[in-house]
Structure 1
Amino acid sequence: MQVLILGSAAGGGFPQWNCNCANCRGVRLGRASLRPRTQSSIAISMDGERWLLCNASPDIRAQLNASPALFPRRGLRDTGIAEVLLVDAQIDHVSGLLTLREGCPLDVWCTPSVHDDLSSGFPLFPMLSHWNGGLNWREIPLSDDKRRCTFQVPSCPELEITALSLHSNAPPYSPRRGSPAVGDNLGLLFRDRLTGGSLFYGPGLGQPSHEARELMAKADCVLVDGTLWHDDEMGRLGIGHATGREMGHLALAGESGMIAELDALPETTRRILIHINNTNPVLDETSAERAVLDRHGIEVAHDGMRLTL
């Protein structure tokens, strides 16, 4: 299994276009310890030719142009993207589908609740139906009676995918904001049935459940939510009021934070953070917070990072 990290930042990217926090200001000034990042997305392939895109960020065009493995090369109009899998309906994970409209029809795997949001509040499915057949919904069948399922996708037949509904939050535009339903946010365990290698991917992990911890413990590598250092980080900086938990993200610091969750995993597990907000001090490679991660053996994802499992 090949994993390509197309984008590693949270919504807004890094630097965020209208943010003048120390991190964003520093990256614009060219500080060597701060590297730009696009909005969170990864791609997975078993053969290096056909790729399963996990989340379509607003930065997808730049991400594709920076990724030779996904270049068109088999015809005049082509792409390495074979299918799309969405973990939620957040704008920073789905609006890139608009950019991919020239590649329709396109199969999109998501839960019924995500499909509902993308058919009403942010109606990408009906909107893109006007482009060569639009988006073909492929259901990930989760419901109140079924919080977990295992399935396969045609582009990666040797890949076993387990989807688990996470305790997080629905998008701000969703009628379920503040009271999310099953399937509004997913954690995904990918297992290569040929090599046995496995990856847990959870960019929106607000409150790890027993089931989520179970899947993370099974993975050789976890690629998980690193959005904020402090739960009240936005308020501390005077640039927002929402806490991490309110947004559906578990902060890194604290006795019950993400660092503690990752410390509880088997020693052999590779731990990598993704979906990192522009305010998070770990983006500065010389920061005290980054040194804390280093001591705990936790990595910070960057655009263009590749994993083989």
Structure 2
Amino acid sequence: MTLRLVVLGSAAGGGFPQWNCRCPVCALAWDGDTRVKPRTQSSIAVETGKGRWTLFNASPDLRSQILANRQIQPTGLRETPIGAVVLTNGDVDHVDGLITLRERSPLTVYATSQISAVLDANPIFGVLAKDVVAREVVELEKPFEIDDTRIEFFGVPGKVPLYLETENLKIGDTSGDTIGVTMEKDGARLVYIPGCAVVNDDVRARVEGADILLFDGTVFHDDEMEKAGVGQKTGRRMGHVPISGDGGSLDAFKGVKIGRKIYIHINNTNRILIDGSRERATVEAAGWEVSEDGLEVAADLAHTSRGSTAA
């Protein structure tokens, strides 16, 4: 069976266009410019077993993502192909969608102890009935299986969620607040890293030889939010390495052997969202793709389509 995935949401928190924003890029979307496409908040679904799909992060837009993608729609009376959810951090845009999955369908949530503790600390997640929704706490670098797929968590430089930040905030911690995920099936390997503060030697080693890499594309320029007039934080301060510049992901992955490189978790200020922009041309010239909602990818690269398709 081919390892395949569908991008449910390709935008960062707030989606694109963001509901309260007319930054230069969002303004194009609100004004109907055909060079940009609306995007929901980031998540992917991977077919981990025949007809069984695992969500990697559960965004606030999960219900609309299910409506848009037949692969994860109900297959019978209270039957769903969604069997599991994997969480890569505790950010609102990655855990809020769990509440959508509260109607007593059996599934398992996989997370590190730090991310699992975030759910435990908020009583609203108690709507996920414990007798049908299992919780598996997974250690870093301890492989496990979901259906027919081998999964491994690894720490990447990151930080705690925004709502847990304190004056002692540490950016770049790799203990488990932010993780990357490796998936392997039938000899194919997919690496998913939607959040990463620094591309260090360990991150490069983790993605070396991957058939598919989906990587943090939040901002193109580290200071683009400030220049757009919508915030004062840099990308790195938010825990996201920029695409361009010294230490940016474009330079950091040069020379690393990767089959297919795709940016995901793209902020509304990022001009790679604009078809034909200089920034889009820059990443494409370097061999990167810009994900969009509904993008389906197979590890053998023989089956790739844009837009939702039937399972």
Q: Same fold (TM over 0.5)?
A: yes
Residues in 2 aligned to 1:212 and 1:238: alpha-carbon distance in whole angstroms: 32
Paired residue for 2:57?
55
Paired residue for 1:152?
145
Change in 2 beyond 3 A, CA 1:168/1:132: closer
Paired residue for 2:184?
191
CA contact (8 A) 1:86 1:109 kept: yes
> Between the two proteins, what is the percent identity of the paired residues?
39
Structure 2 letter corresponding to 1:20? R
CA contact (8 A) 1:104 1:132 kept: no
CA contact (8 A) 1:89 1:117 kept: yes
Q: CA deviation at 1:35?
A: 0.4
Residues in 1 aligned to 2:73 and 2:83: alpha-carbon distance in whole angstroms: 12
Q: CA deviation at 1:149?
A: 2.5
Residues in 2 aligned to 1:269 and 1:42: alpha-carbon distance in whole angstroms: 18
Paired residue for 2:87?
86
Give 3-state SS (helix, strand or coil) of 1:245's partner. coil
Question: How does 1:222-301 map onto structure 2 within 5 Å?
Answer: 222-266=213-257, 269-301=259-291
Paired residue for 2:99?
98
Paired residue for 1:107?
108
Paired residue for 2:206?
215
Unaligned runs of 5+ in 1: 143-147
Paired residue for 1:145?
none
CA contact (8 A) 2:199 2:249 kept: no
Q: CA deviation at 1:181?
A: 6.2
Residues in 2 aligned to 1:71 and 1:251: alpha-carbon distance in whole angstroms: 35
Give 3-state SS (helix, strand or coil) of 1:244's partner. coil
CA contact (8 A) 1:9 1:38 kept: yes
Paired residue for 2:77?
76
Structure 2 letter corresponding to 1:262? F
CA contact (8 A) 2:48 2:54 kept: no
Paired residue for 1:119?
120
CA RMSD, Structure 1 to Structure 2 (Å): 1.7
Change in 2 beyond 3 A, CA 1:112/1:265: same
Residues in 1 aligned to 2:269 and 2:87: alpha-carbon distance in whole angstroms: 25
Q: CA deviation at 1:218?
A: 2.7
Q: CA deviation at 1:132?
A: 6.8
Q: CA deviation at 1:51?
A: 0.4
Q: CA deviation at 1:238?
A: 1.5
Residues in 2 aligned to 1:119 and 1:175: alpha-carbon distance in whole angstroms: 17
CA contact (8 A) 2:9 2:44 kept: yes
Give 3-state SS (helix, strand or coil) of 2:103's partner. helix
Change in 2 beyond 3 A, CA 1:226/1:234: same
Count of equivalent residues = 294
Give 3-state SS (helix, strand or coil) of 2:289's partner. strand
Q: CA deviation at 1:191?
A: 1.2
Matched, 1:33 2:35: yes
The CA deviation string for residues 9-51 of structure 1, in whole angstroms up to 9 with x for no partner, is 0000001000111211111222111001000000111445110
Give 3-state SS (helix, strand or coil) of 2:251's partner. helix
Residues in 2 aligned to 1:57 and 1:76: alpha-carbon distance in whole angstroms: 24
Unaligned runs of 5+ in 2: 300-311
Matched, 1:182 2:175: yes
